[in-house]
Amino acid sequence: MEPDDVSGLPPGVSDKLRAEGVTELYPPQESAVNTGLTDGESLVASVPTASGKTLIAELAMLAAIERGETALYIVPLRALASEKRTEFERWEEFGVDIGVSTGNYDSSGEWLASRDIIVATSEKVDSLIRNDAPWIDQLGCVVSDEVHLVNDRTRGPTLEVTLGKLRQRNSDLQVVALSATIGNADAIANWLDASLVDTDWRPIELQMGVHYGNAITFNDDSQQPVPVESGERQTPALVADTLAGDDEDDQGSTLVFVNSRRNAESAAKRLCEVTAPVLTTEERASLAEIAASIRGVSDTETSETLATCVEEGAAFHHAGLAAEHRSLVEDAFRDRQLKCIAATPTLAAGVNTPSRRVIVRDWRRYDSEYGGMKPLDTLEVHQMMGRAGRPGLDPYGEAVLLAGDNDTRDELFDRYIDADLESVRSKLASEPALRTHVLATIATGFARSRTELLAFLKKTLYATQTDTNGRLKTVTDTVLEYLKRNEFITEDDETLSATGLGHTVSRLYLDPMSAATIIDGLQWAAKNETVQVNALSDRSTEHAADGFQPASEFAKSAGDTVHEDGDEPAVTYPTAFGLYQLVCRTPDMYELYLKSGDKERFSQVCYEREAELLERTPSEYDDVRFESWLSALKTGRLLEDWADEISEDQITERYDVGPGDIRGKVDTASWLLGAAEQLAGELGMKTKPIADARRRVEDGVKEELLDLVDVRGIGRKRARRLYDSGIEDSAALRTAEKGIVLRALRGRRKTAERILENAGRSDTSMDDIDEAPGDSINADADGGANANVAEATAETQQNRDVDDDSGNQAGLGDFS
């Protein structure tokens, strides 16, 4: 079938496809069209990685737009949203408008209403439904990419419920679900009332094998010698072998999948020894340029290490990298400048970076529930292997696992090469998942009684996959009880409704348990402070006698400074650190992991700062609770360091995290603190201390810089330099001597002009202005890299309402 034969597309689309090299549809694409894809029929396409699923989605979306409908593309990872947007932008010449929505979980995204294609994560779509986004009803076509993730314990339930709600809102909705090849694609098709295209066809042959000893053994029993000298490692030998082709077309690139960020970095460093010698002079020159761009993204050690590797022709790729880093690496690899990438599996999840050979070096990863190194799922390994083979460039792709002995070779064949495909199973019946989704379903009016609720749940994948409804009912009842006890819902004469607080929690996209934790913490603070206030001063109240005050009175005291007998403030409740630790205790924050030695270190911090923590510290003998308390404390300390203007580089070192992690924690914390602010408001408590703590962590500054960072273009470093030059707020910027401004901004005239304009100054020209004499101020050893993560964060925060695709959800889809 040729593109011209596809009906329902906007005029000109088939010409464009042909110009791009799509002269024939791939067989799975043809089958999809034959099921009525461009006539609005629902479809599940279970097709191997890199076999043209994206075009299936595009054909469906373009046909929907031609019918006057809006299309929604649900991405599995926030980090993939901008990649997809870039891919779809080529349809703009047909008048197609694209909007990406990944940030702010509590906005209704009204601006998206005018877009033809909306790209969002399932969490974002879920929150838009909760906030009653008006355009939801205009949707004609929804694409769910990587729908097999319904199997995922943490993210699957949201995807499942979101698709359920979209279908309930519009019974004619076309759902196009794209899946990796799985064992039970028919179950998904059955759940979604969709046709099924289920195939293992690929555009380029994939040979899967295991390297052991001096050769790779492939699935067709053929062998390819790749000798490994004793003492030599397998990976570099295989990378060198891929590079050693006779002519240029035969010289291939390699993707190496490993199980942690640290391993990715150390493997890349070692692989430089193999890639560096084959680089041509031109390649070295262009890699040096890419390395310079990488250094320009941020001034951290990770950035420096990455740039150094890239200069030598190798790179690493993981979710701890800034998004800009990741795309620089992906582009350079696609352009064949980089010869090798050592990556965690984030790269396998949808980024189009095919390579001649894929090496799955680590097929196990540490799993705390499992209590050791757990073999990866077949599906995951197949997604990594599927990145092998560049159509049109390579004769075939090769995916290689590594074995150190005969038994392991046999095990790898059994597990990953000869294995049956895995089946996916709904994870909806878990309590945290239902807690969130039951509240939202009641708050948005999707269900008004227990019966309606169970009827809605009955249409989920979970219900279609289990014979007995028993478990779902039991968990649902436990959850309803929890929500009632926390006053998020009421049940009156069999009618379920959300309370004001419940509506707020649902709109804020909080796990109800996070909301309950935050509310408890804030009330605890208010109550304990009252006790102290009364003990320390003569401000006694009637209620103080029994140590209890109503919420309205907590409000008066919460946030006030408690004075001991003199003028010295003792403790200000709640403190920023107390609030940071509080939000880190909620299930909505991925806490930092406690490494060896951390327990002692953070126990010490805990005792020193206990007075600030907004709840009683659990007993040390209660291992599980105490350790989770300390993890939250560690994460809270990272946030405090950031808000105390500690440099990114020091933070990455102190906590052993990547710059992308800092951004991820900061984003989550500012969202949770924003939520805390609203909850406090709802309960009549003072919100200012929470707002200040939020603004400080958002911008990474001490309180004194808050006014300066409100000026667009001023991030934490510029603000500090201005402040230290005596320009302490935006008003001062309007009257300051320009030479001083210029010196504080390191002589960058354009930047200075822009900032003065943003501060509302009328005479902004820096022509003929000389930098004021004096020591150059170096508040932070940033080496002049102004386009760093900190400044980028500042810009992003200010652009929030428009778009936010620069953050990455740290840890998602990653091993470590």
Name the nearest CA neighbour of 213 among 358, 403, 416: 403
Q: Is 709 exposed, middle or buried (0-12, 13-18, 19+ CB in 10 A)?
A: buried
What is d(CA 472, CA 454) in angstroms, rounded to the nearest whole number? 8
Stretches 21-29, 410-418, 523-531, 797-805: which one binds ligand ADP (CB under 6 A)?
21-29
Residue with tokens 């996959």: 465
Helix (H, G, I), strand (E, B) or coil at 571: strand
Q: Using the minimum distance from each CB to ligand ADP, give the nearer residue, 47 or 794.
A: 47
Q: Smallest distance, Å, CB 131 to ligand ADP?
A: 30
Stretches 48-56, 540-548, 633-641, 730-738: which one binds ligand ADP (CB under 6 A)?
48-56
CA count, 13 A, side-chain hemisphere, 770: 3
22 near ligand ADP, judged by CB under 6 A:
yes
Q: Using the minimum distance from each CB to ligand ADP, give the nearer residue, 22 or 215.
A: 22
Instruction: Give the interface size with ligand ADP as a residue count (CB under 6 A).
Output: 15
- Single out the residue of 25, 343, 424, 711 in contact with ligand ADP (rule: CB under 6 A): 25
353 near ligand ADP, judged by CB under 6 A:
no
Residue 557 to residues 406, 517, 549, 612, Cα–Cα distance (Å): 70, 20, 10, 15
Run of H or E residues at 195: strand 195-198
What is d(CA 555, CA 321) in angstroms, rounded to the nearest whole number? 42
Q: Smallest distance, Å, CB 37 to ligand ADP?
A: 14
Q: Smallest distance, Å, CB 339 to ligand ADP?
A: 20
Q: Smallest distance, Å, CB 22 to ligand ADP?
A: 4
Q: Smallest distance, Å, CB 421 to ligand ADP?
A: 16
The two beta strands, 206-212 and 215-218, are antiparallel
Q: Smallest distance, Å, CB 570 to ligand ADP?
A: 60
Contacts of 658 by beta carbon, 8 Å cutoff, 6+ apart: 261, 300, 302, 318, 319, 320, 321, 652, 810
Stretches 19-27, 190-198, 215-223, 721-729: which one binds ligand ADP (CB under 6 A)?
19-27
255 near ligand ADP, judged by CB under 6 A:
no
Contact code string over 307-346 relative to ligand ADP, x by CB under 6 A = ----------------------------------------
Q: Smallest distance, Å, CB 24 to ligand ADP?
A: 6
Run of H or E residues at 198: strand 195-198
The per-type count for the chain, helices as H runs and strands as E runs, is 33, 21
Q: Using the minimum distance from each CB to ligand ADP, give the nearer residue, 6 or 475.
A: 6
What is d(CA 535, CA 786) in angstroms, rounded to the nearest whole number? 50
Residue 743 to residues 12, 705, 739, 785, Cα–Cα distance (Å): 55, 18, 6, 15
The two beta strands, 397-402 and 206-212, are parallel
Helix (H, G, I), strand (E, B) or coil at 773: coil
Contact code string over 50-79 relative to ligand ADP, x by CB under 6 A = xxxxxx------------------------
Stretches 45-53, 361-369, 555-563, 603-611: which one binds ligand ADP (CB under 6 A)?
45-53
Q: Smallest distance, Å, CB 387 to ligand ADP?
A: 9
Contact code string over 377-396 relative to ligand ADP, x by CB under 6 A = --------------x-----
The two beta strands, 372-375 and 364-367, are antiparallel
Contact code string over 648-687 relative to ligand ADP, x by CB under 6 A = ----------------------------------------
Q: Using the minimum distance from each CB to ligand ADP, give the nearer residue, 29 or 337.
A: 29
- Single out the residue of 214, 222, 352, 776 in contact with ligand ADP (rule: CB under 6 A): 352
Check whether 581 is labelled as a binding-site residue. no
- One DSSP character per residue, 438-468 reads HHHHHHTTS-SSHHHHHHHHHTSHHHHH-S-
SS3 percent helix, strand, coil of the chain, rounded to 5, is 50, 10, 35
Q: Smallest distance, Å, CB 349 to ligand ADP?
A: 10
> Rounded to 5 degrees, what angle do the CA atoms 19, 23, 25 make?
125
Q: Smallest distance, Å, CB 767 to ligand ADP?
A: 49
Q: Using the minimum distance from each CB to ligand ADP, give the nearer residue, 327 or 528.
A: 327
Binding site listing for ATP: 29
Binding site listing: 29
Site for ligand ADP, rule CB under 6 A: 21-22, 25-26, 29, 47, 49-55, 352, 391
